[in-house]
Amino acid sequence: MSGRGNGATNNTMRNEKKKSGEVMMAASPFHIDESFWYFVVALLAYRGDFWAVGFMLAEPLLTHLLCKKIAKPGDATNACNNMIPVDLRKEFSTPPEVLETIKGGNMVEAVETDRPNSKWVGVFSTSLAPDSMDHLDKSQQRLVYVLSQGGGYLPKASNPALVMICYSMSIAGLTLTRYDWHTAAKFIVITNTHINLMHILRDHSVSGLTHHGAHNVGEFDKVEFIKGMMKTSLPVVVASAFLDGGSRLGGAVQMFAGILSLKCCAFANHTLTHYNRNDIKGKGGVAGKLWHLALDAQELLGRAKIVTSKQYHAAHHFHNEMAYPAILITVNEYLNAKSLSVFLTMTMDGKDLCRIEKILNGFFIIMLYAAVVGL
């Protein structure tokens, strides 16, 4: 296995006993980082609008009922072994041979040179890793994570990543300012509650496991996510500019443009939470100034509790890996995590997890349309 890892691998990974599912899912009913958006939710309720708080209660309940209905008995002792062997990402999916290695099969024959620009990827001995991976040494586990997380890595702090971060902020401003502040706030809370739940749902599958193993990789550090989000979002955002938002069709297109812009912002903020100042060290010119501005803005907004901070998200990765899933705004974290408590002792097939995700996406679209456009 020489040459497949990097020189820092053994220093980065930790030899420690895996945390139990109960420890990884431990979370307080309220976290200080949720304060800003809970204030917004309270203000909406004070004004007589209960769509946001209703959705925050209804979606986790629906998720729990669906998982409880569909799940089958798993490992009642080690929650890590209840990981669902499927990758639900549309942008890039774990190659079948890598998935077989994770499930306990032979070590994949690919090498890290099959993933150019991946030498900067850090690795962490995540407690989400099932026992079927225990026979792999540290460099082998690192290779599995690197091969699974993406097919086209970019250099850390690349110009395409910077462009996507700027693009995400721009289209969010364009789409959300078409609403009054009251509607925009409701839109943001409902959409991000759903984004957070989808994030923690996938953390119980292969994509979550491998992201926690390759812990410093953001969506916009990978070619597939940049191409996918640009291809998906740009036509809808452009179309929304030419349609009357007061009509049913225009309202629906405008809503989808807002959803996609917030998804882009979630990827942008999530990517920035996995950056530090050393990643942009030596960056000069306009790109260097913009990178510093992006990190400064993210840090300031994180301290103000308006976006999810790097410190908050670190708790999700390195301490409570089945809780605190927020990637853009921090709200409804306790209910979102606890809705998946079924996976502490049970598991399900990949097709069933895919079915649950589709049901929840449909529920979200219907609820958001009713709250923002009206049925």
Calpha distance 132→205 (Å, rounded): 14
Summarised one tens digit per residue, pLDDT across range 171-201 is 999 999 999 999 999 999 999 999 999 999 9
Tell me the pLDDT of the chain averaged across its residues.
Answer: 93
Under the banding of pLDDT at 50, 70 and 90, the label for residue 90 is: very high
pLDDT at 71: 97
> What is the rounded average pLDDT of the residues 340-359?
97
- Report domain extents, the chain: 9-372
Q: How far is Cα 230 from Cα 224, in angstroms, rounded to an integer?
A: 10
pTM assigned to the model: 0.93
| pLDDT of amino acid 7 | 36
pLDDT single digits (tens) 115-163: 999 999 999 899 999 999 999 999 999 999 999 999 999 999 999 999 9
Contacts of 189 (CB under 8 A, 6+ apart): 37, 40, 41, 44, 52, 55, 56, 329, 331
CA dist 124 to 130, 156, 317, 333, 372, Å?
14, 18, 9, 23, 41
- The one-character DSSP state at 90 is S
